[in-house]
Amino acid sequence: MTRAEQTSQPTTHIHRHPGLALMVISFAQLMVILDATIVNVALPTIHASLHFSASNLEWLITAYSLTFGGFLLFGGRTGDLYGKRRMFMAGIAVFAGSSLLGGLATDQTWLIITRGLQGLGGAVASPTALSLIAINFAEGSERNRAMGVYSAMSGAGGAIGLLLGGLLTTYVSWRWIFFVNVPIGALGLVMAPRVLVESQPSPGRLDTPGALSATAGMLSLVYGLTNASKHSWGSLGTALPLVMAALLLASFVVIETRSPAPLIPLRIFGSRNRTGAYLMMLLLGLAVFSMFFFLTQYLQNIHHYSAVRAGLAFLPMSGGIMVAAIATSRILTRTGIRIPLIVGPALALAGLIWLSFLGVSSGYSGVILPLLLVAFGMGHTFVPLTVTAISGVAPAEAGAASALLNTGQQVGGALGLAVLGTIAISSARHFGEAARSAGRPVGPALANAATTHGYTTAFEVAAGLMATAVVLSVVLIRAPAGGRADKAQAGAG
C-alpha cells in the first residue's frame, strides 16, 4: 500500500446516525442539482412575469451552472482548509438564502444575480458533501452503497427538477421553485452538526488568484460561445470573450504550477484512472445535461406540453437513474470499475443516437425509450466515476478531488448548453433558409421542422461526444487482476 493510500483512510468513523448522515448529504446534493433544471419548465412563465428579454432568459440556466462550475474547485478547497462539515453548512446557508431572494425577485437582473449566488452556495456545499461521504463511511462496500445513493440523487436531480418545477409553476407559483429550498436548507443546517462527523482542517491558504482566473475564464468562454449563436464567430462580441477566456485559463494553469497551495494539486492527476474519470465526467456533462433543455423545449414548443406534463414526461428517467445507480453500487465490489464505465457510456451513446432521429410527428415513445437508455447509462456511470475520483486521495486533498469531478459535470453542462445551443440555433436557421429557397411555404409547420432539425443536430454532436467518452474509458480505465472494486480503488491512487 502506498503512502497516499494509507493517508487516504480517515482517522475515525463515528457512526452515530449513518442513515441520517446519508440523508442529509444526499438531500442537500439533490437540492443543489435539481436547481440546475427546475427553472427550465418555468421559463415561459418567468419570461412573461418579469418581462425577460429572449437573450437574457438563457442566463437563468447559465448563471447557475457557470458560477456552480466555476467556484467548485474553490469550494472544495475551503472544505479542506476550514473543515468539510463547516463549509458544507456555509454552502447550504448561502444557497437557501439566495433562493429566498430569488423567489422575491421583481426584475430580471435581480433574478439572474440570485441564480449566480445559488451557484456559489452550491459550489461550496456539493464538493464538501461528496468528501463528507469519504469521512463518514468506510472505504469498500459501505462507502459504495453510500455513493450509490449519492449518485442516484445527483443523476436523477435534473429530471426531478423538471417535474417539481412543473408542479410548482402550474399549481402554486414560479416563485416557489426558489422558496422550496428554504425549509430544506434550514432542516439541513439543523441536522448536519448532529449527524455528520467533522474533518480536521488542513494547514494552508486559499488560492484566490487561481479561483478568480479559472472562474473569469469560464465565464468569458461561455459568454463568447453564447454570443456566437446571436451574431457570428468572427464578430467582436464573440471573438473578444473567447480570446480573453484563452488568456485567463492559460493564466490559471501558470498560477497553479507556481502556487505553494494550488487549487488543483497536480499530483491528483498522477492516477490514470482518476484522470480518465475527470475527462469522462466532462464529456458526460457536455453531451447529456443540455439534453434536458432541448427535450423540454421540444415537448413544450413542438408538442405543446404543459409544464406539469413536461415534468412528468421525465419522471421515468429519474427512476431509471436511481435504479441503475443503486444496482451498480451493490455489484461494484464484484465487477470492478471498468465494466460499468464501458457499459454505461455505451448505453447513453445509444440513447443519444436514437434521439437524433426525432421528428416533428414523433410520439412520446420516440422520446421516453431513448431517454431510458440514457438514464440507465448515466446510472451505471456515475457511481464508478465518483468512487474512482475520490479513492486513494489524501484527506487534505479530498475536497479538491471531489470538486474537480463536480466541476467537470457542471462546467461541461454549461459549455454543452452554450456550444450545442449555438449549433442547434445555427442548424435551424440554415434549415429554414434552405427550405424557403426551395419554395417551401413559410409558416408554423416550417418553423417546427427547422426547430426540430436544430435539436436533432445537437443530439448528433452530443452522440459524438459520448462516443469519445466510450473510447476514453476503453483506453484509460484499468483495473488490477481480479477486478474487485476495492482493489481498483486502491489502484486509483
DSSP 126-176: HHHHHHHHHHHS-TTHHHHHHHHHHHHHHHHHHHHHHHHHHHHHHHT-TTH
Q: What is the distance between the alpha carbons of residues 65 and 116, in angstroms, rounded to a whole number?
A: 8
| C-beta atoms surrounding 239 within 10 Å | 16
Each of the 493 residues of the chain gets a pLDDT tens digit; together they read 333 333 334 444 444 577 788 888 888 888 887 887 788 778 878 888 998 876 677 778 778 877 877 787 788 788 878 888 999 999 999 999 999 999 999 998 999 999 999 989 988 988 888 778 877 887 777 777 887 787 777 767 777 887 888 888 888 999 999 999 999 999 999 999 888 887 777 776 778 888 788 878 877 877 777 676 666 677 887 889 889 989 999 998 898 888 887 877 777 887 888 889 999 999 998 898 778 778 888 998 899 888 788 888 888 888 888 888 888 888 887 878 888 999 999 999 999 999 999 999 998 889 999 999 999 999 899 888 888 887 777 766 776 777 778 777 777 877 787 788 888 988 999 999 998 888 888 888 899 999 999 999 999 999 999 999 999 999 988 864 444 444 444 344 4
Q: What is the DSSP letter of 481?
A: T
- For domain 3-206+261-492, give the CATH superfamily: MFS general substrate transporter like domains (1.20.1250.20)
Phi-psi group of 246: left, alpha or beta (phi > 0 → left; psi -120 to 50 → alpha; rest → beta): alpha
Name the one residue in this structure whose C-alpha cell is 470492478: 336
Q: What is the pTM of this model?
A: 0.76
| Contact in structure between 333 and 451 (CB atoms under 8 Å) | no
Enumerate helices (H) and strands (E) in the chain, giving the number of each.
Answer: 20, 0
Among residues 404, 349, 347, the alpha carbon closest in space to that of 380 is found at 347
Coil, helix or strand for 264? coil
* Nearby residues of 36 by Cβ (< 8 Å), 6 or more positions away: 61, 64, 65, 68, 157, 158, 161, 289, 410, 413
Q: What is the DSSP letter of 364?
A: T
Give me the residue spans of the domains in the chain: 3-206+261-492, 207-260
Q: How many residues does the chain have?
A: 493
Q: What is the distance between the alpha carbons of residues 109 and 305, in angstroms, rounded to a whole number?
A: 28
